[in-house]
């Protein structure tokens, strides 16, 4: 099981540079400048943006007509930025933003120095590599420099001449060495400094002067600094936001060192060991704090210091080792809004089930703990509530129906009983998976319901699918698997325009899967369909898979599209799915919507597998096992080039395995066992690397990985003119050697009775040999192997939970 699907994304830092600048249509620029802009556009691939988008990011001076601003559309430009690019001919540029594009590992040309009137230069997340040219220091009018999220390396860039800088972001690169000792001294206006996630060492020196540095935002985490960097930081008395994740200290961090920072609002010291005394209520830390992040700090007792922070809005003490109950006083903090208690050893809450009732908390996450008893009644202004993976019992509080602000409810993986509350239409995300809920799914979805995710799998629900689901026009993810629902296939759900994932696995559904008109299934956005272990019957029409969304590959700029990315400013929700893949069941977190999976196994389907299956270009897993399909394996499967897992076992398929399937380079798991196939198994890594059990039960199959050869030694045919003589000689041989032949047959029969045992001894282990479990447990394939993390306590980084 993966870590929390429901995660807060807190706006952790103040004073972030606003990137939404007013753009003026470039058509007000002179024709020669428009032509120059088009020339620049033609240097790169820009399939993702049209000409008007491109030109609308430009601005010209009203007097001279020269281009003074270029802001490329985000995510649509690809190519190499060359030193002779026409970009460096725009000598009057004051604003240049190339961020969030792909310059395919280009280095930063020294010709940037030609743009010596620049005030804003943003190259974030643009795939630049190599060292920053020293000529960048010639841009003396720069006030904003953002080189973050690239692969830049070398020593700290030479920026000593940039005395007007107020914003400097070099985070998420590979810079090494020390910070220049005079950095703050030479930049009196610098208010935002982000050096997070590099390989920097040394100290951040604070100048001794009568005027305090103007720095308000400082981020130094995930570098190689040592603890002695803390003392200079304590002199930055104007700081409002400080991030110090993963400092390289050999001793616990004392939070009281930050007590001089009277203006500090946000403090993040995640992944540091903390001095226990500094977490007591007597410790001195800035009382102005509004956000305190203590994620993964090896804390074993609840930090009583929180009681003194009456301005606290956000607290994160996730992924520690805190045991016992959450104290009742926490909910009495007057301004508390966001509380993250995920992945500790809490056993419950002090007080009654109404302890949260009058709290100001709006976003509350206490997943991955050991809480028992009844679920507490949620606060009045709750926006989302996550309690998944605990041991709560009893009914779901009906008071959630009175929480008009509630958007997300995740109570999955508990021991809750009773009925589902009738107010699901009010919620955007409902996850009640793996409880012991009874009754039927409430048929109360009103028209215009905002529900996007409904997961009630692995309960004891019965009845039929509620017909009012047709009113959930925003529904994307619907899972009712592993219940006792008895109904026909809901063709009426095809009216839902955004439904992408639909699983009915292990219920009591029955009837035909073919639409009444015998045409395509025709769900407009459907990508994942899991119908296994029901009682579906009949055949599938040839056009069954026509018009599926899975017929095309659609990916975003980072190559992935996740289910549940609802773009909320404060949280991320990730849908999960129990997927039978490569012969194993696994829970798939971060469900990608750039692929498709189909599982019809364990039903009573018959007839031929539709050739239209070959249209599903994004299909990675197909499981039609344990049915009664007949005919040949479709040749069109060779067109499903992304296929990784194919299970056609235990059907009545005949003919040969198509040799064309050897072209499926990603195919890692194949099973065609227990059919009526014949001929040679196609030779190639996709097939020869499979277990013998993948092909057993087909009497006519031969070739690797099965034992034996498909080819018998050739026999010499007698010449036509000697046919009669040959027949006579053959008869003579039989007469002459009859007794010996009879004796030979008897001996052969005796040997054959033992040959089976010999064969089992040689082949037996291979017949039952499982594929490499490490390989099979990789989620999907190596392209997406970062998705699987089944250890409850292995929370990788603070950013995995809170962004």
pLDDT in tens, 139-175: 999 999 999 999 999 999 998 889 999 999 999 999 9
pLDDT at 291: 97
Is the separation of the CB atoms in 299 and 255 below 8 Å? no
For residue 604, the cross-strand partners are: 537
Residue 10 lies in a domain: no
Q: Which residue has the higher pLDDT, 688 or 385?
A: 385
| 799 φ/ψ angles, rounded to the nearest 5 degrees | -70, -15
pLDDT (average), residues 13-20: 28
| 34: region left, alpha or beta (phi > 0 left; psi from -120 to 50 alpha) | alpha
| Token pair for 663 | 């072209």
d(CA 224, CA 177): 9
* Cβ count within 10 A of residue 674: 19
pLDDT at 387: 97
Residue 506 lies in a domain: yes
pLDDT at 105: 85
Chain segment 720-768, per-residue pLDDT in tens: 444 433 333 333 333 333 444 333 433 333 333 332 222 222 223 333 3
Residue 351: CB partners within 8 Å, gap ≥ 6? Answer: 328
Residue 71 lies in a domain: no
Residue 625 lies in a domain: yes
Does the pTM surpass 0.85? The reply is no
pLDDT at 684: 82
d(CA 434, CA 480): 11
Q: With cut-offs at 50, 70 and 90, classify the pLDDT of residue 228.
A: confident
**pLDDT, averaged across the chain:** 81
Is beta strand 645-647 parallel, antiparallel or unpaired with respect to 654-655? Answer: unpaired
| 577: region left, alpha or beta (phi > 0 left; psi from -120 to 50 alpha) | beta
If residue 194 lies in a helix (H) or strand (E), which one and from where to where? strand 192-194
DSSP string for 652-718: --EEPPPGGGGG-TT--EEE--SSEEEEEPPPSHHHHTS-GGGTTT-TEEESTTSSS-S-PPP-PPP
Q: With cut-offs at 50, 70 and 90, classify the pLDDT of residue 715.
A: low
Cis peptide before 705 (omega within 30 of 0): yes
Chain segment 478-490, per-residue pLDDT in tens: 999 999 999 999 9
Is the separation of the CB atoms in 563 and 574 below 8 Å? yes
* Cβ count within 10 A of residue 62: 9
pLDDT at 587: 54
Q: How far does Cα 363 stand from its chain's mean position?
A: 22
pLDDT at 81: 94
d(CA 721, CA 252): 101
d(CA 198, CA 176): 7
d(CA 68, CA 59): 6
| Token pair for 738 | 């009859």
Residue 527 lies in a domain: yes
Altogether, the residues listed in the chain come to a count of: 803
Residue 683 lies in a domain: yes
Is the separation of the CB atoms in 438 and 459 below 8 Å? yes
**CB contact burial 67-81 (16+ within 10 A = b; e otherwise):** bbbbbbbbbbbbbeb
Of the CA atoms within 13 Å of residue 341, those in its CB half-sphere come to 32
Chain segment 530-567, per-residue pLDDT in tens: 999 999 999 999 999 988 765 554 544 444 344 444 44
pLDDT at 764: 31
Q: Where are the beta strands (DSSP E) in 582-665?
A: 584-588, 596-599, 604-608, 619-623, 628-630, 645-647, 654-655
User: CA–CA distance from 446 to each of 411, 427, 442, 452 (Å)?
Assistant: 23, 12, 11, 14
CATH of the domain at 634: 3.80.10.10
Q: Which residue has the higher pLDDT, 640 or 105?
A: 640
Q: Where are the beta strands (DSSP E) in 248-366?
A: 266-268, 291-293, 314-316, 323-326, 338-340, 345-349, 363-365
pLDDT (average), residues 693-703: 91
Which of the residue ranges 38-52, 163-177, 346-360, 578-592 would you say has the lowest mean pLDDT? 578-592
Is the separation of the CB atoms in 687 and 717 below 8 Å? no
Is the separation of the CB atoms in 697 and 683 below 8 Å? no
Q: Does residue 183 have a pLDDT over 80? A: yes
Q: Does residue 13 have a pLDDT over 70? A: no
Number of domains into which the chain is organized: 1
Residue 693 lies in a domain: yes
Q: Does residue 300 have a pLDDT over 90? A: yes
pLDDT (average), residues 422-426: 89
Q: Which residue has the higher pLDDT, 766 or 51?
A: 51
Residue 523 lies in a domain: yes
> Domain range for residue 781?
492-711+769-787
CA-based radius of gyration for the chain: 33
Range among 128-137, 224-233, 772-781, 786-795 rated most confident: 128-137
């Amino acid at each position: 099981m993966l870590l929390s699907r429901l995660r807060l994304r807190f706006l952790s830092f103040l004073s972030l540079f606003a990137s939404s600048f007013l753009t003026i249509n470039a058509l007000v620029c002179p024709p020669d400048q428009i032509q120059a802009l088009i020339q620049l556009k033609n240097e790169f691939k820009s399939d993702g943006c049209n000409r008007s988008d491109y030109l609308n990011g430009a601005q010209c001076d009203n007097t001279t007509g020269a281009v003074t601003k270029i802001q490329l559309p985000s995510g649509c430009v690809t190519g190499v930025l060359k030193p002779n690019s026409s970009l460096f001919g725009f000598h009057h540029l004051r604003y240049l933003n190339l961020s969030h594009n792909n310059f395919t590992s280009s280095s930063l040309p020294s010709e940037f120095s030609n743009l010596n009137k620049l005030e804003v230069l943003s190259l974030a997340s643009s795939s630049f590599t190599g060292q920053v040219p020293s000529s960048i220091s010639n841009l003396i009018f720069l006030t904003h420099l953002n080189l973050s999220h690239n692969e830049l390396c070398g020593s700290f860039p030479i920026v000593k001449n940039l005395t007007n800088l107020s914003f400097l972001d070099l985070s998420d690169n590979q810079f090494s060495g020390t910070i220049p000792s005079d950095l703050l001294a030479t930049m009196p206006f610098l208010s935002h400094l982000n050096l997070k996630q590099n390989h920097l060492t040394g100290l951040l020196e604070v100048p001794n002067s009568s005027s305090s540095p103007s720095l308000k935002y400082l981020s130094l985490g995930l570098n190689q600094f040592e603890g002695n960097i803390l003392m200079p930081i304590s002199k930055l008395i104007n700081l409002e936001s400080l991030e110090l994740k993963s400092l390289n200290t050999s001793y616990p961090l004392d939070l009281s060192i930050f007590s001089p920072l009277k203006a500090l609002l946000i403090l993040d010291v995640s992944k540091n060991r903390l001095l226990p005394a500094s977490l007591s209520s007597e410790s001195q830390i800035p009382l102005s704090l509004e956000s305190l992040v203590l994620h993964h700090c090896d804390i074993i007792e609840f930090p009583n210091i929180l009681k003194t922070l009456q301005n606290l809005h956000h607290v994160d003490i996730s992924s520690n080792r805190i045991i016992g109950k959450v104290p009742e006083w926490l909910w009495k903090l007057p301004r508390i809004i966001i509380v993250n208690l995920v992945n500790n050893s809490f056993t419950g809450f002090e007080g009654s089930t109404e302890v949260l009732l009058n709290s100001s908390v709006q976003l509350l996450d206490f997943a991955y703990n050991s809480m028992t008893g009844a679920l507490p009644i949620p606060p009045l202004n709750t926006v989302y509530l996550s309690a998944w993976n605990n041991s709560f019992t009893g009914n779901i509080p009906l008071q959630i129906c009175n929480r008009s602000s509630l958007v997300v409810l995740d109570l999955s993986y508990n021991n809750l009983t009773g009925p589902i509350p009738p107010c699901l239409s009010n919620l955007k995300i409902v996850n009640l998976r793996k409880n012991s809920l009874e009754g039927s799914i409430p048929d109360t979805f009103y028209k215009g319901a905002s529900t996007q995710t409904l997961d009630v799998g692995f309960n004891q629900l019965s009845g039929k699918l509620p017909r009012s689901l047709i009113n959930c026009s925003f529904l994307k993810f619907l899972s009712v698997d592993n219940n006792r629902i008895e109904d026909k296939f809901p063709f009426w759900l095809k009216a839902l325009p955004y439904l992408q994932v639909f699983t009915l696995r292990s219920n009591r559904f029955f009837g035909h899967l073919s639409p009444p008109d015998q045409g395509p299934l025709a769900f407009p956005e459907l990508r994942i369909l899991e119908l296994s272990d029901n009682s579906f019957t009949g055949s599938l029409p040839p056009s069954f898979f026509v018009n599926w969304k899975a017929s095309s590959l659609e990916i975003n700029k980072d190559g992935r599209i996740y289910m549940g990315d609802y773009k909320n400013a404060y949280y991320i929700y990730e849908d999960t799915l129990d997927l039978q893949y490569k012969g194993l069941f696994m829970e798939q977190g971060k469900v990608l919507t750039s692929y498709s999976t189909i599982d019809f196994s364990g039903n009573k389907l018959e007839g031929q597998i539709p050739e239209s299956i070959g249209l599903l270009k994004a299909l990675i897993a197909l499981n039609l096992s344990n049915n009664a399909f007949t005919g040949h394996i479709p040749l069109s499967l060779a067109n499903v080039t992304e296929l990784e897992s194919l299970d056609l076992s235990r059907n009545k398929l005949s003919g040969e395995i198509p040799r064309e399937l050897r072209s499926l380079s990603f195919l890692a798991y194949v099973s065609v066992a227990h059919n009526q196939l014949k001929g040679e198994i196609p030779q190639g890594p996709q097939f020869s690397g499979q277990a013998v059990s993948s092909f057993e039960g087909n009497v006519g199959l031969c070739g690797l990985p099965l034992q034996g050869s498909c080819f018998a030694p050739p026999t010499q045919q007698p010449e036509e003119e000697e046919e009669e003589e040959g027949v006579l000689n053959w008869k003579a041989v039989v007469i002459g050697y009859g007794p010996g032949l009879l004796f030979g047959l008897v001996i052969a029969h005796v040997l054959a009775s033992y040959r089976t045992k010999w064969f089992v001894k040689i082949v037996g282990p291979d017949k039952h040999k499982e594929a490499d479990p490490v390989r099979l447990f990789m989620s999907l394939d190596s392209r997406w192997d970062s998705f699987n993390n089944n250890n409850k306590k292995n929370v990788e980084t603070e950013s995995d939970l809170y962004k």
